[in-house]
Amino acid sequence: ARELLANFYGRLSENSPAPSGGDETSINVQLKDDNIHNGKDAIDREVFDADGYVREMLERKKLQELLKADDAMCREIKTLSGDMQALVYENYSRFISATDTIRDMKQNVGALEDEMQSLMATMKEIDATSTAVNSSLADKRSQIDKLVRARR
Q: Kindly report the number of other CB atoms within 10 A of residue 31's CB atom.
A: 24
* Under 8 Å between Cβ of 91 and 49: no
d(CA 50, CA 31): 12
The C-alpha atoms of residue 69 and residue 30 are separated, in whole angstroms, by 10
Classify residue 59 as exposed, middle or buried by CB count within 10 Å of its CB (0-12, 13-18, 19+). Answer: middle
Residue 22 pLDDT exceeds 60: no
The residue that leads in pLDDT, 143 or 36, is 143
Say which residue, 22 or 101, is predicted with more confidence: 101
Quote the pLDDT of residue 28.
46
Higher pLDDT, 48 or 13: 48
Q: Is the pLDDT of residue 73 over 50?
A: yes
Asked if 25 and 46 count as a contact pair (C-beta separation under 8 A), the reply is: no
- Between 14 and 94, where is the model more confident? 94
Predicted TM-score (pTM) of this structure: 0.41
